[in-house]
Amino acid sequence: MAVEALGKGMCLSCNTRRDASLELRRCSSSAIELGRSWSRFLGRRLVVGSTRGKPLGSGNLGFISAQMSLSVRKSVKWWEKFLHPNMKVIDSAQDLVDTLSEAGDKLVIVDFFSPGCGGCRALHPKICQFAEMNPNVLFPQINHEQHKSMCYSLNVHVLPFFKFYRGAEGRLCSFSCTNATIKKFKDALAKHNADRCSLSPAKGLEESELMALAANGDLSFNYTPKAPVPVPNLHDASSEKTPANPMLPLHRNPWFFQDIEEKSLATAQG
């Protein structure tokens, strides 16, 4: 009898524990579902919490509080990878103008790309390598999808595309380049990155480029066209002057030359 009672007590104890465990799991799931309704984003972290001090189940399970903290990792876009301090994303046309003017005598290579351009994505790691090997060269980037009007004003119609600027010379060259024609980029970088010093201010964008940006509303500035330099007309007879000989007096009376001719004839006859 004692053994039978003990066995029944053990079975009852096991069943009670099993039921309590199932009830605890069920209430925990309810707590998590309830906590989701209180979720909110704080910056880059998703904080999920539940109410504290409120009963979530019945019986003698008491109070259950749940709090979850989930980190939401921001996906890094391919054009944001492997960037170096001398690489920056251009936000506007004015930002591009300021970048070129503040570069001084440094070589500036403007990189035009598009997120959906396969050639741009394939070439990006190599451009980052060039930026790392040439810290004195600036590599500003312009997203074509975000700045279509600005790219149109700068005559960028194929991607990837590069424009080289430096100091007082302004724009040096511009061309499209891919992995297959990367030698063109290397040659231009080696040619225009030679050591030199210019005391003149940076020229920046060409006058035609500035006018196109202003016409499309990408740039606003007060432009004063330069006054044309007068060119003398070499075929104008009035502008030609016979240099005066200080040793010979100028006689504007035509009778003076007639008297000289008559005296010369009289002397010859005599």
117 annotated active-site: yes
Q: Which of 11, 14, 27, 120 does the annotation list as catalytic?
A: 120
Do 86 and 135 contact (CB within 8 A), yes or no? yes
Residues 6+ apart with CB under 8 A from 93: 147, 150, 153, 213, 218, 219
96-107: b or e for each residue (b if 16 or more CB lie within 10 Å)? bbebbeebebbb
Which one of 27, 117, 151, 177 is the catalytic residue? Answer: 117
Q: How many residues does the chain have?
A: 270
Active site residue 128: no
SS3 labels along the chain:
CHHHHHHHHHHHHHHHHHHHHHHHHHHHHHHHHHHHCCCEEECCEEEEECCCCCCCCCCCCCCCCCEEEEECCCCCCHHHCCCCCCEEECCCHHHHHHHHHHCCCCEEEEEEECCCCHHHHHHHHHHHHHHHHCCCCEEEEEECCCCHHHHHHCCCCCCCEEEEEEHHHEEEEEEECCHHHHHHHHHHHHHHCCCCCCCCCCCCCCHHHHHHHHHCCCCCCCCCCCCCCCCCCCCCHHHCCCCCCCCCCCCCCHHHHHHHHHHHHHHHHC
Query: What residues act catalytically?
Result: 117, 120
